[in-house]
A and B are shown apart, each in its own frame.
Chain A
Amino acid sequence: SQQGEEDPQALSIQEGENATMNCSYKTSINNLQWYRQNSGRGLVHLILIRSNEREKHSGRLRVTLDTSKKSSSLLITASRAADTASYFCATLNQTGANNLFFGTGTRLTVIP
């Protein structure tokens, strides 16, 4: 029961370039979160943006949220080989339950 769709499914860039990943979701949300997962490992929380926010920054990360289009984007600037991972958006429904629905994910490869 995935709620989010992400594109691209896979992205390969050179070190130093910027990487942009997009997430679309289907229902109203309280917030949207982005997580990173190195191959076969646990997920690490990157950033949370609330439904009343439009843009948020954290280090080399920039997240935007457009609730009218039900979409979000994650921009990683000046990418590094260590950024190679899968990136998932996750939304929390406005049902009051604390359950996250993860998007399909973008597999990012940064070539040194």
Chain B
Amino acid sequence: DTEVTQTPKHLVMGMTNKKSLKCEQHMGHRAMYWYKQKAKKPPELMFVYSYEKLSINESVPSRFSPECPNSSLLNLHLHALQPEDSALYLCASSQVFEGETQYFGPGTRLLVL
């Protein structure tokens, strides 16, 4: 199984809502990532988890809160988002070793109204 799954595929939320994005992989990868991608732009790294511990936080606002409950799951909790947070949110996973290929999920397209 070389698939990374993400739910939901689409999400529309108001600025006062709380929602969560979910990501799952069963490849035994111990590194998982969240990226944000705006239209016609490259993905930008948000968070990296290594062995279920947060290892990189690229200065992401606190309205984004990641969680890694176990080695297969990665969540991104959203609260009090702004319209400019509307984007495609991509999850990826890889082996922990440096420079390993990352496997991406299909993404969650988020619209904040």
Which residues does A use to contact B, with CB under 8 Å? 1-2, 30-31, 33, 35, 40-45, 48, 50, 88, 92, 96-105, 107
Contact = CB atoms under 8 A, between A and B. Distances in A.
Nearest to A38: B106
A108 B40 CA distance: 13
9 closest residue pairs by CB, A with B: A102-B42, A42-B104, A43-B104, A92-B99, A42-B106, A31-B99, A45-B101, A30-B99, A99-B45
Contacts of B102: 43, 45, 100
B107 A41 contact: yes
Nearest to A88: B42
A98 B100 contact: yes
B98 A30 contact: yes
A103 B92 CA distance: 17
Interface in B41-94: 41-45, 48, 50, 55-56, 58, 88, 90, 92, 94
Contact of A99 (B56, B104, B105): B56
A1 B58 contact: yes
B21 interface: no
Contacts of B58: 1, 99
Contacts of A98: 31, 48, 50, 94, 96-100
